[in-house]
Amino acid sequence: MMNRYKSRNIESAGKKLQAERETEKSGIAKNQVVTTVIEDMSENGEGIGKVDGYTLFVKDAVVGDRAEVKIVKAKKSYGYARLVKLLTPSPDRAVPVCPAAAPCGGCQLQAMSYEAQLRFKENKVKNHLERIGGFTDVQVLPIIGMEDPLHYRNKAQFPVSRDKDGNIRTGFYAGRTHSVIETPHCYIGHPVNDRILALVKAYMEREGIRPYDENLHKGLVRHILIRRAAATGQIMVCLIINGRKLPAADKLVRSLSEVEGMTTVGFNVNRERTNVILGEKTVILYGPGYITDRIGALSFRISPQSFFQVNPVQTEKLYEKALEFADLKGEETVWDLYCGIGTISLFLAGKAKQVYGVEIVPQAIENARENAELNRIENASFFVGKAEEVLPEWYERQCGKARQDKAKNENGEKEVCECRDGKTCADVIIVDPPRKGCDQKLLDTIVRIKPERLVYVSCNSATLARDLNYLCREGFVLEKVQPVDMFAMTVGVECVALLTFIE
Ligand code: SAH
């Protein structure tokens, strides 16, 4: 006991000493209040100001603000601060519509006018392309914004917890924490969410069902997932639970089915100690287990585990861009990697000879196949698996052997993929990976295939820039990048990039 006490004391003395040393160097210390002008924005949406050359990251500050800020953490060359008093507000400021905008971690940019948000995102993309990708003169097209940047999301995942008085709380996580902030109404979600949350809460209270406590790994309900198809109004509710059964499930179904558009109710089992929201198993209590939405002229079935773009208004614009960049004439073989429920694949199928989609989530591929049928599309096939495994295997089987033989025989022959029938195995490749970007093995295979066009759809411009850098070192040319605002009020930005490979 004594030892532990001592070592903790030494540790905290060490920390104090370090803090003092850092203060000596910078002259800035925790709790100090300083005045600064915000000159830039970090990619997480914090304002960046300087005090005598010392950099401060200021939460809720906007470029152009002059403000008094209080240091919350001081490091050697930079620190974090919070806004104390706004001395001169930036012309880019807007009054956040949501009263919980500052504490809630969901929207980081509500204090900025929408125009300024769009400029911020365009700059973020340019910065990533330049700093990470090494592209100095790439054509970044003006970002495609929204007409009405509120209430756009078709999906919400509300964490459920308890407050100090034991009441059930649903809302969102506060920035960088796991404490739940009760938001009476989320301004980027659909208003019907409020009613659904109230009904689920009432059901939990009536039936004595406890929210999940992630510290104790006890309690039942972890999250409430709500999806609403914008075009059809169909709604799906799925409770993510730390258990195998949902007590009095029929009562939940009865109460939720009163909500207009309620199409599917179910629960998903997640008994792990994890931040990942969904577990493997989903049980459907009511309805067909999916909702149907439309993008453009196509219909899509979406089940709880499948990915579907969260902003339907912008998704259509995003896919139109992908289609435009793919520039299909009708004779092409197209691969859509990371295809989800086959949205991009089916969007492109009408203009291609054949489309192949690859996706890791089996339920999504099930949806993709149903969606092809639903839309009477016959030239799209789908594979379950990792993009970085399926495409290389297929390539080796179809083309690799023939290409290698050819390279061996004809010295100096360019390494161009040629199938046995003399046609390239992929004229156009589309990738749309999750935030971490493409797997290296996939990029290597794409480089070997050398499709005429590669359309890279990305929700993370940092990993996009990293992957583009590699592809361009290996012979691709980055033609243009189109940012699209899919995540208004937040720091997220979507991009479509076009690369070509010219012999
Ligand atoms: N293009 C789709 C989905 C994009 S989201 C759309 O616009 O709706 C990215 C998708 O990649 C998700 O569906 C995710 O399940 C899938 N995924 C993640 N890792 C993967 C991998 N290694 N191989 C294939 N798919 C993967």
Residue 317, H or E segment = helix 312-326
430: nearest Cα among 502, 363, 362, 332? 332
* CA gap 495, 503 in Å, rounded: 26
Instruction: Pick the residue whose CA is nearest to atom 1 on ligand 1.
Output: 339
The tens digit of pLDDT for each residue in 353-389 reads 999 999 999 999 999 999 999 999 999 999 999 999 9
Range(s) for CATH 2.40.50.140 in the chain?
19-91
Measure Cα distances from 197 to 166, 193, 214, 391, 475 in Å: 17, 6, 20, 42, 52
Mean pLDDT, to the nearest integer, of 33-45?
A: 94
- CA 302 – CA 317 distance, rounded (Å): 20
In sequence order, which ranges of 191-291 are alpha helices (DSSP H)? 192-207, 249-256
Q: Check if 307 has its Cβ closer than 6 Å to any atom of ligand 1.
A: yes
Least confident of 80-94, 107-121, 178-192, 337-351: 178-192
Q: Which of 238, 459, 472, 495 is catalytic?
A: 459
Q: Which atom of ligand 1 is nearest to the CA of 364?
A: 13
Residues facing residue 294 across a β-bridge: 299
State which ligand 1 atom lies nearest to the alpha carbon of 433.
9
Q: Work out the average pLDDT over 86-97.
A: 96
Mean pLDDT over the full length of the chain: 91
Topology (CATH level 3) of domain 19-91: OB fold (Dihydrolipoamide Acetyltransferase, E2P) (2.40.50)
Residue 364 Cβ inside 6 Å of ligand 1? The answer reads yes
CB count in 10 Å sphere of residue 31: 8
Is the beta carbon of 309 within 6 A of some atom in ligand 1? yes
Q: Whose CA is nearest to atom 21 of ligand 1?
A: 386
Angle at 465 between CA 459 and CA 466, to 5 degrees: 110
Q: Tens of pLDDT along 183-230?
A: 779 999 999 999 999 999 999 999 999 999 999 999 999 999 999 999
Structure tokens at 215: 């510290």
Q: Is the CB of 38 under 6 A from ligand 1?
A: no
| Total Cβ atoms within 10 A of residue 467 | 26
Q: Where in the chain is the domain with CATH 3.40.50.150?
A: 311-501
Q: What is the pLDDT of residues 149-187, one digit of tens each?
A: 999 999 999 999 998 888 999 988 887 778 888 777 999
- Token look-up 């800035």 returns 28
From-to residues of CATH 2.40.50.1070 in the chain: 155-295
pLDDT of residue 459: 97
Render pLDDT for 437-467 as a digit per residue (tens, 0 to 9): 999 999 999 999 899 999 999 999 999 999 9
CA 20, CA 30: separation in Å to the nearest integer? 10
Q: Is 186 a catalytic residue?
A: no
Strand locations in 432-502 (E)? 453-458, 477-484, 494-500
Q: Tell me, which fold does domain 155-295 have in CATH?
A: OB fold (Dihydrolipoamide Acetyltransferase, E2P) (2.40.50)
Q: How far apart are CA 255 and CA 257, in angstroms?
A: 6
Q: Domain 311-501: which CATH class? A: alpha beta
Instruction: Report d(CA 491, CA 90) in Å as an integer.
Output: 18
pLDDT band at residue 266 under the 50/70/90 scheme: very high
Task: Using alpha carbons, list the distances in angstroms from residue 419 to 78, 160, 217, 397.
Answer: 56, 53, 54, 10
337/136 Cα distance (integer angstroms): 28
Q: Specify the 3-state DSSP secondary structure of 341.
A: coil
CB of 357 shorter than 6 A to ligand 1: no
Minimal CA–CA distance to 360: which of 346, 340, 344?
Answer: 340
CB of 374 sitting under 6 A from ligand 1: no
Give the separation between CA 216 and CA 415, rounded to whole angstroms.
Answer: 57
Q: To test the ligand 1 pocket, which listed residue (359, 366, 389, 456) has its Cβ within 8 A of the most ligand atoms? A: 359
Q: Which atom, in ligand 1's list, is nearest to the CA of 386?
A: 23
Q: Residue 277's CB: how many other CB atoms inside 10 A?
A: 13
Q: What is the predicted pLDDT for the residue at 414? A: 47
Residue 35: strand pairing partners: 68
Mean pLDDT of 314-319: 97
> Longest Cα pair distance anywhere in the chain, in angstroms?
78
User: Beta 354-359 vs 333-337: how paired, if at all?
Assistant: parallel
Amino acid type, 360: I
